Amino acid sequence: DQQVKQNSPSLSVQEGRISILNCDYTNSMFDYFLWYKKYPAEGPTFLISISSIKDKNEDGRFTVFLNKSAKHLSLHIVPSQPGDSAVYFCAATGGAGSARQLTFGSGTQLTVLP
Amino acid sequence: DSGVTQTPKHLITATGQRVTLRCSPRSGDLSVYWYQQSLDQGLQFLIHYYNGEERAKGNILERFSAQQFPDLHSELNLSSLELGDSALYFCASSKTGTGSEKLFFGSGTQLSVL
């Protein structure tokens, strides 16, 4: 039962253009969402997060949008740079106490072409 | 550098064997999490420890066990290994483990069961 889904295993974008990575979730208890970036031979690193009380959060070139009614979030990278090439994981958490563990999607490999 | 140290980086062993993966969290972090990433899969949550006590269990097999020691380092023990246990195992840490804070990941242990 995949509660967090990233349906696009890979995405290629030209340098300078916008990259849009998508994520869908099924658990209505999720109230906090995060994006992690992973380079080869390294662990995932935190990129940006959003609480369910917001529908947008921006940090420099990175913006996360949350559509609660559609149970969908997206990460926009503008402008995309070759250094952004990595695997991006969407993650979500919700519920109370020990139930608040991060559930990750399967990741999207972003390739930014120079 | 996330500040989370995992050893060893690579481990090759045979079916039926037992191995121990080690994790040292960031200085000051009380929570340690273990995740498994198999080929083309997202990060699967295994177990969470907070200040020496088990806080939550995810999809962890009975052949696997973990503990967190008084100095806060953690070990993940995998026994009666099967080919399907080959995966990248990540440890992550956080200050409080409330579930609404970002996790800091180590670079992982690549386990190959032959």
pLDDT at A2: 81
Is the per-residue pLDDT at A81 higher than 80? yes
**Mean of pLDDT over chain A:** 94
Question: Do B110 and B95 touch, CB atoms closer than 8 A?
Answer: no
Q: In sequence order, which residues have a C-beta less than 8 Å from that of residue B70 and are 6 or more positions away?
A: B52
Is the per-residue pLDDT at B90 higher than 80? yes
Asked if A45 has any chain B CB less than 8 Å from its own CB, the reply is yes
Which of A43, A49, A99 minimises the CB distance to B90? A43
Nearest CA distance, B40 vs chain A (angstrom): 7
Question: Do B47 and B58 touch, CB atoms closer than 8 A?
Answer: yes
**Mean of pLDDT over chain B:** 93
Is the per-residue pLDDT at B46 higher than 80? yes
Q: Give the type of residue at B58.
A: G
Is the per-residue pLDDT at B51 higher than 90? yes
B42/A101 Cβ within 8 A: no
How many residues are present in chain A? 114
**Structure-token match 């996360």, residue found:** A64
Q: A8, exposed or middle or buried, with CB in 10 Å at 0-12, 13-18, 19+?
A: middle
Q: In sequence order, which residues have a C-beta less than 8 Å from that of residue A90 and are 6 or more positions away?
A: A4, A6, A21, A23, A33, A34, A35, A73, A75, A104, A105
Which residues on A lie below 8 Å from B98 (Cβ)?
A: 100
Per-residue pLDDT of A15-35, as tens digits, reads: 999 999 999 999 999 999 999
B100/A101 Cβ within 8 A: no
How sure is the predictor about A98, in pLDDT bands with cuts at 50, 70 and 90?
low
Question: Do B20 and B77 touch, CB atoms closer than 8 A?
Answer: yes
A107/B42 Cβ within 8 A: yes
The whole-number average pLDDT for the span A79-106 is 89
Is the per-residue pLDDT at B50 higher than 70? yes
pLDDT at A99: 66
Question: Do B76 and B66 touch, CB atoms closer than 8 A?
Answer: yes
